[in-house]
Amino acid sequence: PKIVVNATGCLEVATARYPHSAWNVPWIHVAFENAAAVASGIDAAAKALIANGSLKPGERPVIVAFGGDGGTYDIGLQALSGALERGHRLLYVCYNNQAYMNTGIQRSGATPRGAATTTTPVGSESFGKLQEQKDLTAIAASHHTPYVAQACASHWQDLSEKVEKAVSKDGGSDRK
């Protein structure tokens, strides 16, 4: 079985127009900042159900959490860091537009240096975003997770292979 956790953002708006959803699996819409926290809770619940015999290990769900760059690089970074540090078994996908596109194109931690957004305009009085973008891949890898990757939907075969590899890995909560 699969369970999708989807933070508010561009992907959620495009795939789940109330009262309908494009998802054909159990799907949970959560706030911008807590997709990783909710996915962690689902993983903890699955582990508890396996431990008490209510769920067989082979029935453990594949948990996929989606967050935009703002909800991942910025306001959700602490939840993602906690999930990675604790070693929860989940696939976290950051849908990176390099700005808060769903709320007016404000800069995010994923916005490249010098980029123009509504909060970092380029012009005679401003250079654009002054800071470098965060290296989320390095941040995730620094948690010693079993697998970290970058992919782009335009390279669908590469993306598919990386998703298959990611869900085949056990999270840190499964390592001894």
The residue written with tokens 């594949």 in the block is 62
What was the pLDDT predicted at 171? 61
46: confidence class by pLDDT, cuts 50, 70, 90: very high
pLDDT digits (tens, 9 = 90+) for 127-136: 999 999 999 9
What was the pLDDT predicted at 176? 38
Checking DSSP bridges between strand 62-68 and strand 2-7, what pairing results, if any? parallel
State how far the Cα of 41 lies from the Cα of 114, in Å rounded to an integer: 38
Q: What are phi and psi of 87, to 5 degrees?
A: 80, 35
Which amino acid, residue 130?
A: L
- The β-bridge partners of 30 are 7
Q: What is the percent of the chain where pLDDT is above 90? A: 81
Q: Is 75's pLDDT higher than 80?
A: yes
What was the pLDDT predicted at 16? 81
What was the pLDDT predicted at 17? 78
26: preceding bond cis by omega (within 30 degrees): no
Q: Are 145 and 84 in contact (CB under 8 A)?
A: yes
User: Where does residue 18 rank: exposed (0-12), middle (13-18), buried (19+ CB within 10 A)?
Assistant: exposed
Q: Which residues does 103 contact at the CB level (< 8 Å), separation at least 6?
A: 70
What was the pLDDT predicted at 175? 45
- DSSP-H helix ranges across 87-155: 136-141
Helix H or strand E segment including 157 = helix 156-168
What was the pLDDT predicted at 174? 52
Look up the pTM and report it.
0.91
Q: Are 147 and 164 in contact (CB under 8 A)?
A: no
